Amino acid sequence: MGKMKQSTVEHKPLTFISFIYLVAAVLTVLLLSQCTFSSTSHGSGSPLKLDAFLVELAEQPAGSYTAQLTTHYFATDERDTSEAYVQWVPAVGDSGWAAIGYYRVADSLRTLSQHVLDTVSTSVRDSSFERSTVGSERISGYWPGKLCPPFLGDTAWFGSAFDGDADIVWYHTATRSDTTWTFDITAHADTSNPDASPEDILRYHIDYDATSARLIHFDFEFFESSIAYGYLLDVTFDWTDESADEVADKVLNWAPDSAFSETFPEQEVERNEAEQEVYWEEQRAKYTAGLPVVGEMAPELAGIDLQGDSTRLTDYLGELVFLDFWYIGCGPCMQALPHLQEAGEKYADRGFRVVGSNAHQSPEVLTSYFEKRGLDLEQIITDGRPEDYNIRIHPTWYLIGRDGAVLETGLGYGEGSDAQLDSLIQVHL
């Protein structure tokens, strides 16, 4: 449906990896470029001379730390905790650092409980921790990346650039006390932009130990009012005294266990328009393998509705149904909802229904989220991923005929999707 944006990243429980929309949008801003820190005093402490700080940052020895991450999702009021033990080496070639990380997710809803991040990183981007496969589950670079962030030791991060997005204006202060170097970075909406909202938030607070220049804490807050979604994450770093030479030797001479076949993530490749179309078709085939196809009868789907009552797909026989697999935390999913409701209302008198299917959030959470956005969409809420709909890309959608057969199916939501959806509905009404 147009230029699709898809999400397999799960925010409690976020499906790990690829086709990331919301995460990609946020990371574009997080990988700050062209920033000049003011020397304005902020709170206690004195203005920080950035050049002096960067010298200290660049001279850190190799070391090990345990990072604890806590994330609070505003839309669902849910909380995640993650932990990593990381052996880290600064200033390796042009990469900024190299690291080996051992990553654990405490949330039992996630299928990954422990995994060795099989990487000697060659990039300071968050996605450099995007690695490997355990069974069929890909491991995301986003949350592990927050446990080993680029500003841990990459001096270029501070002098290279906020992305210059015209929609936001960045403010930053840097101060030093006897114990801590502190950076506060806040994005404010450009009031001249009609799409901007004063409710939107993008903010960093970063603390370094004043003696060692080692990162000891940061928190990051993000909120996008147009989709009523955001989160606050808080990460603390507890450093261990270890021989820098021994740590460096372990990291630089490390090789992945043979159990991990995909050592490095797929590299970004420049493709022309035709090549890109072929690539996306290959990805679409890969991630839809085993799912219902056009011409087949749609498998039964049973669950509960927003009131907690039993409901199933066959209850809608005799109507044209747009079945949308989505969850709160999937950017394109959340962006699609207003038009889906509009289409459902527009064609309701002609026997068209929009039905969402959510395997990640409860009726209470979904109801609260819909109320915040002024939405009212029917749902089939399932207890886990349905066996006959093993969805790995969100959103995945099906247009199902009045006889229960699959008429159309697709992935993602992006430019042109609304018009294409309307056209499909009119063809099949």
pLDDT in tens, 380-393: 999 988 989 989 88
Q: Do 41 and 149 belong to one domain?
A: yes
Structure-model confidence comparison of residues 239 and 286, the more confident one: 239
Q: Which of 252, 283, 306 is the last residue of a domain?
A: 252
Q: What is the pLDDT of residues 395-409, one digit of tens each?
A: 999 999 999 999 999
Q: Is the pTM of this model over 0.85?
A: no
Q: Do 306 and 247 belong to one domain?
A: no
The boundaries of the domain holding residue 137 are: 31-252
Q: Do 242 and 173 belong to one domain?
A: yes
Q: What is the pLDDT of residues 137-189, one digit of tens each?
A: 333 456 666 777 778 877 767 655 444 444 556 677 788 888 999 988 887 66
Structure-model confidence comparison of residues 2 and 254, the more confident one: 254
Query: 4: pLDDT confidence band, cut at 50, 70 and 90?
Result: low
Over 80: is that where the pLDDT of 133 sits?
no
Over 80: is that where the pLDDT of 92 sits?
no
Handedness of CA 398, 19, 374, 425 (dihedral sign): negative
Cα 87 from Cα 68, distance rounded (Å): 15
Average pLDDT of the residues in 16-27? 30
pLDDT, position 46: 56
Structure-model confidence comparison of residues 61 and 339, the more confident one: 339
Query: 265: pLDDT confidence band, cut at 50, 70 and 90?
Result: very low
In a domain, 108, yes or no: yes
With CA atoms as reference, report the closest residue to 224 among 397, 393, 379, 21: 21
Average pLDDT of the residues in 77-100? 70
pLDDT, position 238: 95
Over 60: is that where the pLDDT of 37 sits?
no
Give the CATH number, domain containing residue 300: 3.40.30.10
Over 70: is that where the pLDDT of 1 sits?
no
DSSP one-letter string for 312-361: EGGGGTTSEEEEEE--TT-HHHHHHHHHHHHHHHHTGGGTEEEEEEESSS
Average pLDDT of the residues in 413-420? 91
Which own/partner contact pairs does 79-85 have at CB distance under 8 Å and 24+ positions apart?
79/12, 80/12, 80/105, 80/106, 80/107, 81/106, 81/107, 82/106, 82/107, 82/143, 82/144, 82/147, 83/147, 84/117, 84/144, 84/147, 84/148
Q: How far is CA 293 from the centre of its chain?
A: 28
Contact 411, 396 (CB under 8 A): yes
133-149 in b/e burial notation, b at 16+ Cβ within 10 A? ebeebbbbbbbbbbbbb
Q: Do 207 and 339 belong to one domain?
A: no
Query: 242: pLDDT confidence band, cut at 50, 70 and 90?
Result: confident
Query: 20: pLDDT confidence band, cut at 50, 70 and 90?
Result: very low
Cα 362 from Cα 341, distance rounded (Å): 20
What token pair was written down for 232?
């606050």
In a domain, 380, yes or no: yes
pLDDT, position 192: 65
Q: Do 60 and 119 belong to one domain?
A: yes
In a domain, 237, yes or no: yes
Query: 91: pLDDT confidence band, cut at 50, 70 and 90?
Result: low
In a domain, 158, yes or no: yes
In a domain, 16, yes or no: no
Instruction: Give a three-class secondary structure readout of 252-272.
Output: HCCCCCCCCCCCCCCCCCCCC
How many domains in the chain?
2
Percent of the chain at pLDDT > 70 equals: 66
Quote the mean pLDDT of the chain: 74
